[in-house]
Structure 1
């Protein structure tokens, strides 16, 4: 890991405080953009200007209006590829969703959902190898995502609170879309059939959702049942980690409301 001296860091902070953008400072000083973003965040936190550090109202604590469709989507992204973390010395925790660079549209949709659910809080993107972590800082993440806890999600119980279940029941397709965008895919399979005695290639579309958590897979399947999508469990070796949607009518429903990642 490359270490940067205090002089270089202070030079970067001076540029940032004078209004320079993170990317411009990173290029000018030949420092990774993620490092510059971190320096800026720590500096703002020390000065009481950290995103989310002000008293932003919360739908759960203060009764602020909530964009429920956006929340249903963001909740599913969190269950698939997200986690909440609070670094030592930081006053405000962050929700971080890992989004692959192959799907920039997914990254935009994730950030848009964060802005809709947390309109008073800033978002940012931190570059990682092959992906970006889309982040939002808020003191109310624990309120909005009570599924947070120590350890991996598949090693602990994941259940929705009644108010969350009501939102998912009202906006099921947003929840399905978020799960597919995080831990799912739309692919084209093929097989060979005999047609008039001649072997012909036959292609068909199917959706896969893969998650090691029994609870999260159950949530996905329950919502599929409610919207009329037929599914079946497939196995990877002895483990039932995959949920497949392959019937033509069900794929058409998924295409109408979800579609491929982009």
Structure 2
């Protein structure tokens, strides 16, 4: 019998797209044994009794939490365990790199790979423990259920608020340049200014974002469109400067 951690590592490597031959050579486990775990002849439990404990890197966790709340999901593997998936647009290759780095820093035992989709990649990681690290996981869409942080998550966010904000902006936000016109000496001139937007349908996730901005002294306003208060705007010069210093545009 192999230890649970050994089976987890082997299945994680397979989930990254590795062949059974390469995983067998790296781990010393026979292809037949690995295949049997895949075929549920010796399955992993849906939730292993041994939980992974706190995240290995709190700062990386705060960032990954923001990505998960914005563009992430957790889904059960057909045979065993769970997949964490974060959608990253092809436009932002730097975001994919940061996402993969955050996953491996939060949970060093879990690998991460990019599964290509049209116009984006799903940064994907396998582990039976992802629901333990992200207890906001549940049936249905995130905006259709309550999203409330556990006390240990709130402690991490309180210690690393900028990292949460950066993750939320990198998933469901953007930095843009707005413009308007003003009369200067009788002549109408164009005036440009930077602005951050965060858009999310979930009232709870928007509130988590704005509560964190309040903690950081960042001014914000609701920007209602078509009667929906889904957009949060940061446009004041001092607040934009703070966001630029700690968040920055996606790349």
Task: Tell which has more relative contact order, 1 or 2 (C-alpha 8 A, sep 6+).
Answer: 2
Q: CA RMSD in A?
A: 2.4
Are 1:16 and 2:5 an aligned pair? no
Query: Could you say which residue in structure 2 is the equivalent of 1:81?
Result: 71
The one-character-per-residue Cα deviations of 1:172-205 (angstroms, maximum 9, x if unpaired) are: 0000000000000000000000111111100000
Give the counterpart of 2:196 among 187, 200, 207: 207
CA distance in 1 between counterparts of 2:132 and 2:155 reads 16
Aligned length: 220
1:83 partner SS: strand
Q: Is the 8 A contact 1:45 1:91 kept in 2?
A: no
Query: Could you say which residue in structure 1 is the equivalent of 2:122?
Result: 133
Give the counterpart of 1:109 among 94, 98, 103: 98
CA distance in 1 between counterparts of 2:147 and 2:33 reads 34
Are 1:163 and 2:152 an aligned pair? yes
Q: Is the 8 A contact 1:147 1:160 kept in 2?
A: yes
Deviation at 1:16, TM superposition (A): 3.4
Query: Could you say which residue in structure 2 is the equivalent of 1:70?
Result: 60
CA distance in 2 between counterparts of 1:127 and 1:103 reads 14
Give the counterpart of 1:118 among 102, 107, 126: 107
Q: Which 5+ residue runs of structure 1 have no aligned equivalent?
A: 1-14, 21-42
TM-score using structure 1 length: 0.78
Deviation at 1:87, TM superposition (A): 3.2
Q: Is the 8 A contact 1:154 1:214 kept in 2?
A: yes
CA distance in 1 between counterparts of 2:33 and 2:199 reads 39
Are 1:184 and 2:173 an aligned pair? yes
CA distance in 2 between counterparts of 1:199 and 1:233 reads 28
